[in-house]
Structure 1
């Protein structure tokens, strides 16, 4: 009986240790339970068309500093019956490597019609849609949109998440007035709460003064 009990506690503490995050990283849902999660790389609904290396659970990880700033955004949105939806946050380096391998296979165009209909896959590196390193791997970058909690619908931003093309640019204006206003709303509230944007992608934000700038982590999301 004692040996079985010892084995149980050993397995329990081993399990807990495997879940422990590096110092200064947190599970976002523990800090912001109201936030909506749609972690695309933990599914086949992404530009590759398969689950991406390093995404073993649909859980969101960020640095404590980025999470605190994100919580401020969420609290403001909730007052107007709105919520953030997270598509991606911390991204292991092995996931970035997965993207690079996929991008080099020019014959794999399974998801082209949905995510990059006007882009030649051979140009993804040149156009900086795929890179060797990602700010996401530093733990303070996030991809988000806004959901109307009254309708449970995302605000119309003019393109889907991860759409490769000029249409996704922050300043792109060949879209409806409503779509322009929705993008401006997201940009305004994120920038006002400590984030900076990425001009090519309306959904992409990085915490100003991020704690691990130019450091790229590779621990698995689980």
Structure 2
């Protein structure tokens, strides 16, 4: 039987428990729960991919003017591929498998700071600034790039375990440098007409914001389909997950920072 005085004692215990952050179950005091894990220190433990595997080619487009905004992107003071140690180790395994098929990996983008994503967002909301439209988004309006999923207000790249890449033959053909102001050709054009990237034929160029770049597009020829399938198989076998709108985009499934978006610049000083 519960007396009024007992009820008052139980209520007092419950109130004290709430104030102290202690749980009360059935009138009994429950032990305090362990504190939440500490907040990230701000350094995700990035490594420079060329230190992990110098065999992998790099063509870091956002550190140059050869990208869809037409200038170096904020946050890319150095043309480096930074990745978490886990993703870089997995990519080394992909490179081993790729070499066995007579190909090598070539990366276009790896870790991408939040400031770069913000730069894209600002660019997309401004009038003009479409000097690269003819190459990178010839059939999509600039104002539709976010809505159609080609750009996002957040990017998995900022978590350090996502990479944009392709395959090149071994030995890799020489690639001419991009000259700002040179005539542009649509990324959807046949391989022998678009920018002379030394990638094997994937049906479009890199960062081609067009349905033709969707992985399952039926509009690319059999050679491009086989090459896309090869890249996807190599990557998924090593634990990466692709993105259906971009044949070049892969995220490491077991990424160590699945909910954290970092803003360190793409520079060697950000490694470690």
Q: Which of the residues 60, 63, 68 maps onto 2:81?
A: 60
**Which residue in 1 is equivalent to 2:254?**
209
Cα-to-partner distance string for 1:3-39 (whole Å, 9 max, x where unaligned): xxxxxxxxxxxxxxxxxx9352111110101110000
1:27 aligns with 2:72: no
Aligned to 2:153: 132
Q: Given the superposition, is the C-alpha separation of residues 151 and 35 from structure 1 closer, same or farther in structure 2, using an over 3 Å criterion?
A: closer
Are 2:184 and 1:163 equivalent residues in the alignment? no
Tell me: CA distance 1:41–1:151, structure 2 relative to 1, closer, same or farther (3 Å).
Answer: closer
Displacement of 1:96 in angstroms is 0.3
* Mapped pair 1:122 → 2:143: yes
Q: How does 1:53-92 map to 2 (within 5 A)?
A: 53-92=74-113
Match of 1:173 in 2: 218
Task: State the TM-score, normalized to the length of structure 2.
Answer: 0.72
Whether the 8 Å CA contact 2:44–2:160 is kept in 1: the answer is no
Partner in structure 2 of residue 5 of structure 1:
none
Return structure 1 stretches of 4+ with deviation > 4 angstroms.
Answer: none
Unmatched segments (≥5 aa) in structure 2: 1-41, 174-197, 268-272
Q: How many residues align structurally?
A: 202
1:199 aligned residue? 244
1:102 pairs with 2:129? no
Report SS of the residue matched to 1:196. Answer: strand
Largest Rg, 1 or 2: 2
CA contact (8 A) 1:116 1:163 kept: yes
Task: Determine helix, strand or coil for the equivalent of 1:62.
Answer: strand
Deviation of 1:150 after TM superposition, in Å, equals 3.3
Q: CA deviation at 1:80?
A: 3.3
Write 1 or 2 for the structure with the bigger share of helix. 1
Task: Say which SS state the counterpart of residue 212 (structure 2) adopts.
Answer: helix
SS in 2 for 1:146: strand
The one-character-per-residue Cα deviations of 1:55-112 (angstroms, maximum 9, x if unpaired) are 0111110001101110000011123331100000000100000000110113221111
TM-score under structure 1 length normalisation: 0.88
Within 2, Cα distance between the matches of 1:167 and 1:72? 29
RMSD: 1.2
What secondary structure sits across from 2:229 in the alignment? helix
CA contact (8 A) 2:242 2:249 kept: yes
Equivalence for 1:218? 263
- 5+ residue gaps, structure 1, are 1-20
